[in-house]
Structure 1
Amino acid sequence: MGNCLVNEGVSIFVILAWLGINAFLFVHFYFVYDDGLKFYYTRELVGPALAWARAPAACLNFNCMLILLPVCRNLLSFVRGTCGCCRRTLRRQLDKNITFHKLVAYMIVLHTAIHIIAHLFNVERFMDCQLGEKGELNAVLSELGVGGGYLNPVRNKDMNPTKVVFVTVAGLSGVAITLALILMITSSTETVRRQYFEVFWYTHHLFVVFFAGLVIHGIGQIVRGQTEASLKEHNITYCKDKYSQWGIDPQCPKPIFSGNPPMTWKWVVGPMALYVCEIFVRFWRSQQKIVITKVVIHPSKVLELQMKKRGFKMEVGQYIFVQCSKISSLEWHPFTLTSSPEEDHFSIHVRRVGDWSDSLFKVCGGDQKEFREAWKLPSIAVDGPFGTASEDVLLYETAVLVGAGIGVTPFASVLKSVWYKYTHSDPNLKLKKIYFYWLCRETSAFEWFADLLQSLESQMLERGNSNFLSYNIYLTGWDENQATHFAMHHEAQTDVITGLKQKTLYGRPNWDVEFGNIASNHPSTNVGVFLCGPASLAKVLNRMSSAHSSGDPRGVHFIFNKENF
């Protein structure tokens, strides 16, 4: 347990605090509506469904306040990178912003479902009370407030319940909120995002409808309680059983009711203002001129764009959002920077795997063999750079870098920059040892990145610093013909796939052995473990980091970090 707290202690605390606030709000407001005198007569009409509708509404206000903050990437980048008080532990939590965003979204879905179901019961009870026998308490309550101050929003027996649900302000806004939420959640699944990113992108912008609906949802004031003045004049304990004498007995005047004023806007106005500022910053950045200085077509359908922008400053492992107006004026896609801060340009590598990346490949001349003039290249807009987990590689003496497929891109920037600092004896360089693992399914996936590794390998050999970087390349998929070819060239000095002196390994790493060896080589060290890859691999590495971390504060500790954007 102690080892697990090294990696997840702060995250667990944050999640428990968030869950605790949700639980407090739910329980507090449940009893306010289930036990408070103000809503005594409201409960007489609708029963316990009142509390079940209002308690999740309070939780919805809280979570809707939080949902936008994790996606204000410029705000997070400021807190993460420019605020001097932002320690490494806090930065690791900021790197999990998308995970927290998803958790908050799931909580919103849960409370929305409870809220809707409870209110459907409430509408049914309102209708039943209006149709009740004259003289009963529910019927008397339903008839109150002919000139105002009513309790039952169903004002006559002929009202259609469908009209009550769908034509009122609360009903219409509720339907809009629910439909927007359903579309955003269903289009956010991993399958949709990977195969139909444009669907996810456009439907996610329904958050505008969602928040507009939230702000106006309470204007109708459907849920009503007794006014403070009426509570003083109308003693519920004395008058509740004398409803036939209300207005006749001077001690029991007719109760007067009023609706709850809208409260949601008070919760969400701050985050909404921050997000509007975020949009303005993004727009301002998108107007700054970007010059594409070089386009390189690599094997395995990988496009490299080298660009320049006035005032652009980056750190290792950061990423940018890219928009190409010739493809879409609305879509922005994240890409890790593969250049180092020491280079005079910044670059990204784009793998041709989807509609947008395929279109970018074509408009940049990837399908053409002849040279293309710079003025014919498309206009590119860039937002960023933004900090990620890989930015913290330089904070450790020992680092383990794990990339899967195209997930190796952040480490291109890291390896370039670290080697530059290392060869120039940068006194601020803390990093002394790198363990690099790259896992790919196909041999062709190695081709575009192998040039960088070959360059690093030859430079390390020339300087006699071959121990600085230990790299292991794994091919996780191959066929029978490839296996035969590999076996025939096994004795060659360089690897048949990558051209490196370090031979490619086949299968998957034995992480238990790898972590054990690193732990024995670096006792009393904090080892940073960085992954850009699938969630399944993240679970394994996170588990290994906890299992091989020492319970002794003076021992070795593996600190797990994962790219999220």
Structure 2
Amino acid sequence: MVDWITNELPRWLVLSVWIIVNIVLFVTTYFRYLKADEYYYLRELTGSISLACARASAACLKLNTMLILLPVCRKLISIIRGSCACCPQPLRRQLDKAITYHQYLAYMICLHSAIHIGAHCFNFENLAEAQRARGNDIRNYLSLLPTSPNGTWINPIRTSDPVPIQELLKTVAGISGVVITLCLVLMVTSSTEIIRRSYFELFWFTHHIFIIYLLGFLIHGAGMIVRRQSNLDEHPPLACKDSPTTWGKAKCAVPQFEGSFPDGWIWLLVPMLIYIIERILRHVSGMQRVVITKVVTHPSRVFELRMQKKGFSAAPGQYIIIKCPSISRLEWHPFTLTSAPSDEYFSVHIRRVGDWTEELARLCHVDEGDFQEAWKLPSIHVDGPFGTATEDVLAYDVSVLVGCGIGVTPFASVLKSFWYHFCHDQRVFLQHVHLFWVCPDTSSFEWFQGLLLDLERQMRQQGTNQLLSVSVYLTRGWNANQARNIVLHDDSSVYDAVTGLHHKTQYGRPNWETVFKELADNHKGSKTGVFFCGPKQLSTTLHKLCNRFSSLEDKTKFVYNKEHF
């Protein structure tokens, strides 16, 4: 039970509250339009259930569209995260799931959009059918009410033999609805994992049509075609509906109708202001001068940018986003900070794996190798830093860091900061760090290997080598003969033949169940934070193992944290 409370309960509480609010809003709106007398005649024209479903889904669309902007306000989330340092960790960890919640909100918007569109298709078909009604059919009388400044009319379709789709596209709601739907389809389809990984620029540019989506959302109700009766006292519909020929002549006045006030802007006002202010602040921050003080070339096609910026400060594990106008004036790319707060500069390590990174390497003269003066280096803009789950590494009794390939990058700053705090007698709760590095081949990320060698050397000099244990797993780039020779060499040396560390490299993928069993046995009663940066499949495995090996009996807890960018 402790595992579920630690790793699952906060998330399910957030999701449960959100789902319950959606259900309550949908149900209350549904029954309001299904039962209220002011919408009696509109139900006669459109059909009771389709009208109620359309309006209930519209209410939920307003709620979720209001919320969807907030999870992508990176600066706001970082500020909240920093100001909530005294809050319980389970609550703070929900901020790290902001993008996940953003996706859930998008799914809910898609669901209610489908309901809304389907219901209105029925509504307009019924309105067209009502316009074709003849004789004593009450729909005929309602459809013939004149269009006048006093708002008598209720049926927006005015032609005698209407085509529903054509009539729909004559309205502001119809045109804006089509635009909104197209924008939603483009944003959702371009957000799939395969598009984001293979064509990130397509995802980035397409996602920014949310501006058109929001504008369409704001004007969608401007036509006010959903009309309610405004003179119930003079014309009670239940008493007057059976004698439409006497309307205005006897006790029943002619029914008067008015459009529902468009309130979409009320829902969006606050989040849009927050988002606009955030974008302005980030733009101002991003335009501040950044000086590249040094470019360091590392093996494995990795280079390091060391930079300085006035007023810049960051916590361990945070990340920044970088734009180089000489390459693109629109593209921003996220990079984890590899410098510690104690450094006089802030730095990122960039692997050359695409057009943008290759061009940045060329502009920084990486292949030339010689020291370059600042004026020869490109102008770059830096936005951030932004918070991530890794900020909490120092808050646990034991921290387990798991990185796959380049996913080890966030832990560079953490390890530097941990050692700095320990050496300067600052209060550190963390008692031990386990680093598991699953590396694809022997030539990958030697720059991080150098950091580990330096830390290991300093810890051994001070007799504190028990603070850090490193497990490197080499998954490919070797054959059976090479592995045999390496193992034979390892038997005669205290240093690993591959990494140069005292900790020996292991070959193949780790058995994570065995790893967690050993961690649970060695750290009984401890609160262990597990931090992961890597592929989704392994993330799922580690998450499940954190739950399985948490124990209520000996108060051992494994708290799972995943990096999100």
Shift of 1:367: 4.2
Which moved further from structure 2: 388-397 or 368-377?
368-377
1:381 aligned residue: 381
1:155 aligned residue: 158
Q: 1:485 aligns with which of 482, 486, 490?
A: 482
State the secondary structure of the residue aligned to 1:133: coil
1:522 aligned residue: 523
1:58 aligned residue: 59
The question of 1:46 aligning with 2:46 is answered yes
Give the alignment of 1:446-465 within 5 angstroms.
446-465=445-464
Shift of 1:158: 4.7
Q: 1:225 aligns with which of 228, 246, 249?
A: 228
Distance (whole Å) between structure 2 residues aligned to residue 258 and residue 278 of structure 1: 38
The question of 1:129 aligning with 2:130 is answered yes
Distance (whole Å) between structure 2 residues aligned to residue 506 and residue 182 of structure 1: 45
Give the counterpart letter for 2:254 in structure 1: K
2:328 aligned residue: 328
Residues 439 and 473 of structure 1 are in contact (CA less than 8 Å); yes or no, is this contact kept in structure 2? yes
Give the counterpart letter for 2:406 in structure 1: I
Which moved further from structure 2: 466-475 or 56-65?
466-475
Distance (whole Å) between structure 1 residues aligned to residue 199 and residue 484 of structure 2: 40
State the secondary structure of the residue aligned to 2:347: strand
Residues 195 and 354 of structure 1 are in contact (CA less than 8 Å); yes or no, is this contact kept in structure 2? no
| RMSD value, Cα | 1.7
Q: 2:178 aligns with which of 154, 172, 175?
A: 175
Distance (whole Å) between structure 2 residues aligned to residue 30 and residue 443 of structure 1: 62
State the secondary structure of the residue aligned to 1:300: coil
Give the counterpart letter for 1:475 in structure 2: L
Shift of 1:284: 1.1
1:236 aligned residue: 237
Distance (whole Å) between structure 2 residues aligned to residue 484 and residue 324 of structure 1: 46
Give the counterpart letter for 2:10 in structure 1: V
Distance (whole Å) between structure 2 residues aligned to residue 61 and residue 557 of structure 1: 40
Structure 1 residues 131 and 259: CA distance shift in structure 2, 3 A: same
Shift of 1:477: 2.9
Shift of 1:273: 0.2
1:411 aligned residue: 411
Distance (whole Å) between structure 2 residues aligned to residue 102 and residue 188 of structure 1: 9
Distance (whole Å) between structure 2 residues aligned to residue 84 and residue 433 of structure 1: 22
Per-residue displacement from partner, 1:95-126 (whole Å, max 9, x unpaired)? 11111111111111111111111111111111
1:444 aligned residue: 443
Distance (whole Å) between structure 2 residues aligned to residue 172 and residue 300 of structure 1: 53
1:78 aligned residue: 79
1:472 aligned residue: 471
Structure 1 residues 146 and 343: CA distance shift in structure 2, 3 A: closer
Query: Would you say how many aligned residue pairs link Structure 1 and Structure 2?
Result: 558
State the secondary structure of the residue aligned to 2:157: coil
Distance (whole Å) between structure 1 residues aligned to residue 459 and residue 265 of structure 2: 60
Give the alignment of 1:162-201 within 5 angstroms.
162-201=165-204
Give the alignment of 1:186-335 within 5 angstroms.
186-227=189-230, 230-248=231-249, 250-335=250-335
State the secondary structure of the residue aligned to 1:220: coil
Distance (whole Å) between structure 2 residues aligned to residue 514 and residue 489 of structure 1: 23
Give the counterpart letter for 1:433 in structure 2: H
Structure 1 residues 320 and 347: CA distance shift in structure 2, 3 A: same
Per-residue displacement from partner, 1:105-154 (whole Å, max 9, x unpaired)? 11111111111111111111111111122331111111113323211100
Shift of 1:2: 3.7
Per-residue displacement from partner, 1:58-113 (whole Å, max 9, x unpaired)? 00110011001111111111111135554422220111111111111111111111
Distance (whole Å) between structure 2 residues aligned to residue 105 and residue 58 of structure 1: 15
Distance (whole Å) between structure 1 residues aligned to residue 464 and residue 2 of structure 2: 36
Distance (whole Å) between structure 2 residues aligned to residue 86 and residue 305 of structure 1: 35
Residues 390 and 563 of structure 1 are in contact (CA less than 8 Å); yes or no, is this contact kept in structure 2? yes
1:431 aligned residue: 430
Shift of 1:369: 5.0
State the secondary structure of the residue aligned to 1:443: coil
Structure 1 residues 358 and 168: CA distance shift in structure 2, 3 A: farther
**How many percent identity over aligned positions?**
50
Residues 173 and 217 of structure 1 are in contact (CA less than 8 Å); yes or no, is this contact kept in structure 2? yes
Per-residue displacement from partner, 1:510-530 (whole Å, max 9, x unpaired)? 222211211121122111111
Give the counterpart letter for 1:235 in structure 2: P
Distance (whole Å) between structure 2 residues aligned to residue 190 and residue 298 of structure 1: 30
State the secondary structure of the residue aligned to 1:471: strand
Shift of 1:362: 2.5
Give the counterpart letter for 2:109 in structure 1: I
Give the counterpart letter for 1:103 in structure 2: Y
Residues 80 and 86 of structure 1 are in contact (CA less than 8 Å); yes or no, is this contact kept in structure 2? no
Residues 473 and 505 of structure 2 are in contact (CA less than 8 Å); yes or no, is this contact kept in structure 1? yes
2:401 aligned residue: 401
Shift of 1:361: 2.4
Distance (whole Å) between structure 2 residues aligned to residue 547 and residue 469 of structure 1: 25
Residues 486 and 496 of structure 1 are in contact (CA less than 8 Å); yes or no, is this contact kept in structure 2? no
Distance (whole Å) between structure 2 residues aligned to residue 354 and residue 139 of structure 1: 66
Query: Normalising by the residue count of structure 2, what TM-score does the alignment of the two structures yield?
Result: 0.95
The question of 1:92 aligning with 2:96 is answered no
1:541 aligned residue: 542
Per-residue displacement from partner, 1:9-50 (whole Å, max 9, x unpaired)? 111100000000011111111111112211111111111211
Residues 302 and 445 of structure 2 are in contact (CA less than 8 Å); yes or no, is this contact kept in structure 1? no
Per-residue displacement from partner, 1:166-203 (whole Å, max 9, x unpaired)? 23211121112111111111111111111111111111
Distance (whole Å) between structure 2 residues aligned to residue 43 and residue 305 of structure 1: 65
Give the counterpart letter for 2:488 in structure 1: E
Give the counterpart letter for 1:320 in structure 2: I
Give the alignment of 1:493-504 within 5 angstroms.
493=493, 494-504=495-505
Distance (whole Å) between structure 2 residues aligned to residue 391 and residue 83 of structure 1: 12
Give the counterpart letter for 1:486 in structure 2: A
Distance (whole Å) between structure 2 residues aligned to residue 185 and residue 483 of structure 1: 46
Residues 66 and 271 of structure 2 are in contact (CA less than 8 Å); yes or no, is this contact kept in structure 1? yes
Give the counterpart letter for 2:409 in structure 1: T
Distance (whole Å) between structure 2 residues aligned to residue 439 and residue 251 of structure 1: 84
Distance (whole Å) between structure 1 residues aligned to residue 70 and residue 393 of structure 2: 26
State the secondary structure of the residue aligned to 1:305: strand
Distance (whole Å) between structure 1 residues aligned to residue 542 and residue 16 of structure 2: 23
Shift of 1:384: 1.1
Structure 1 residues 113 and 358: CA distance shift in structure 2, 3 A: farther
Query: Normalising by the residue count of structure 1, what TM-score does the alignment of the two structures yield?
Result: 0.95
Distance (whole Å) between structure 2 residues aligned to residue 88 and residue 71 of structure 1: 21
Distance (whole Å) between structure 1 residues aligned to residue 306 and residue 39 of structure 2: 65
Distance (whole Å) between structure 2 residues aligned to residue 448 and residue 540 of structure 1: 28
Residues 446 and 497 of structure 1 are in contact (CA less than 8 Å); yes or no, is this contact kept in structure 2? no
